[in-house]
């Protein structure tokens, strides 16, 4: 029996079919490497349009801040550097745990994936918790743009514009984090069930790319929103 199997294996070229194909390899890909390359490139194409999406807000920020530097500086002074700084550390730490989750996937360690994803979700939760505290301060101080906005100093309309951009940019950033955490929760369950292998972990790598992108957006938001004119000039 073994000899006939060996003979047929030697005599016929390997033709992939539904039985012999490895689980998780889509039929239109020749190999896991090709499938992974397509997934990785596809995720980057998505992130490139995300760069343009956030880019519009950064552009609005540059235009208004250049036109009204004093108003933007006084608005920025109302933000809490300590809370913003802690959140920067927390978010970069979550990028580290996310990178380690992808590393665990590359090594084929399902439990490692689950642990590092849970840590990433927890750090994301800490970030959003601190953001909630900051938002509620702004609400009580009447610094939320709209009919209840109050500003005693000069140029209230453009200070309000600073807070408009602050809430639009950090709000959109926070929304991205909520989406990322929801995706991570699903992936953690699948990883727990052993859905990912050394060869097939595109979902984890893809969501990892997304999470790091959200981290990069914050890396720019923190100095641009929190650290204006702190040198006393």
Partner 1 sequence: MSDHEQVTGVGAYVVVFLALMVLTSLTVGAAFVDLGPFNDVVALAIAFTKATLVVLIFMHVRHASRLTKITVVAGFLWLLILFGITLTDYFSRGFLG
Give me the least distance between CB of 73 and partner 1, in Å please: 11
Mark 189-215 as b/e (b = at least 16 C-beta within 10 Å). eebeeebbeebbbbbbbbbbbbbbbbb
For the chain, how many residues are written? Answer: 233
What Cα–Cα distance (Å) separates residue 74 from each residue in 79, 164, 171? 10, 14, 21
- Cα radius of gyration rounded to whole Å, the chain: 24
Nearer to partner 1, 162 or 213 (CB): 213
Stretch of 2-10, 47-55, 121-129, 176-184 lying at the interface with partner 1 (CB under 8 A):
47-55
Taking CB under 8 A as the criterion, the residue among 103, 167, 190, 192 binding partner 1 is 103
Check binding of 224 to partner 1 (CB under 8 A). Answer: yes
What residue spans of 80-155 are helical by DSSP H?
81-106, 110-140
What Cα–Cα distance (Å) separates residue 209 from each residue in 46, 86, 121, 197? 10, 23, 15, 18
Check binding of 92 to partner 1 (CB under 8 A). Answer: yes
Check binding of 14 to partner 1 (CB under 8 A). Answer: no
Stretch of 15-23, 59-67, 161-169, 173-181 lying at the interface with partner 1 (CB under 8 A):
59-67
What Cα–Cα distance (Å) separates residue 228 from each residue in 1, 16, 82, 196, 215? 78, 60, 14, 45, 20
Taking CB under 8 A as the criterion, the residue among 22, 26, 51, 189 binding partner 1 is 51
CB contact at 8 A, 209 and 44: yes
Give residues 22-41 in contact with partner 1 (rule: CB under 8 A). 31, 33, 36-37, 40-41
Site of interaction with partner 1 (CB under 8 A): 31, 33, 36-37, 40-41, 44-45, 47-48, 51-52, 55-56, 58-59, 62-63, 66, 81, 85, 88-89, 92-93, 95-96, 98-100, 103, 106-107, 205, 208-209, 212-213, 215-216, 219-220, 222-224, 227, 230-233
């Amino acid at each position: 029996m073994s000899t006939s199997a060996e003979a047929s294996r030697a005599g016929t070229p390997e033709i992939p079919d539904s039985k012999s194909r490895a689980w998780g390899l889509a039929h239109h890909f020749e190999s896991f490497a090709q499938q992974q390359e397509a997934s990785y490139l596809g995720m980057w194409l998505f992130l490139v349009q995300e760069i343009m999406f956030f880019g519009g807000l950064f552009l609005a920020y540059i235009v208004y801040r250049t036109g009204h530097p004093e108003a933007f500086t006084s608005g920025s002074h109302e933000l809490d550097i300590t809370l913003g700084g802690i959140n920067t550390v927390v978010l970069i730490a979550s990028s580290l745990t996310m990178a380690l989750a992808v590393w665990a996937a590359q090594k084929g360690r399902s439990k490692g994936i689950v642990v590092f994803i849970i840590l990433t979700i927890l750090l994301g939760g800490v970030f959003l918790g601190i953001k909630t505290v900051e938002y509620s301060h702004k609400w009580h101080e009447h610094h939320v743009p709209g009919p209840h906005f109050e500003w005693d100093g000069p140029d209230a309309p453009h200070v309000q514009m600073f807070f408009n951009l602050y809430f639009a940019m950090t709000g959109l950033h926070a929304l991205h984090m909520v989406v990322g955490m929801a995706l991570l929760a699903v992936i953690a369950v699948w990883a727990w069930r052993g859905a990912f292998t050394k060869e097939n972990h595109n979902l984890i790598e893809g969501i990892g790319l997304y999470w790091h992108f959200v981290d990069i957006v914050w890396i720019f938001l923190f100095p641009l929103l929190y650290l204006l004119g702190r040198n006393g000039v």
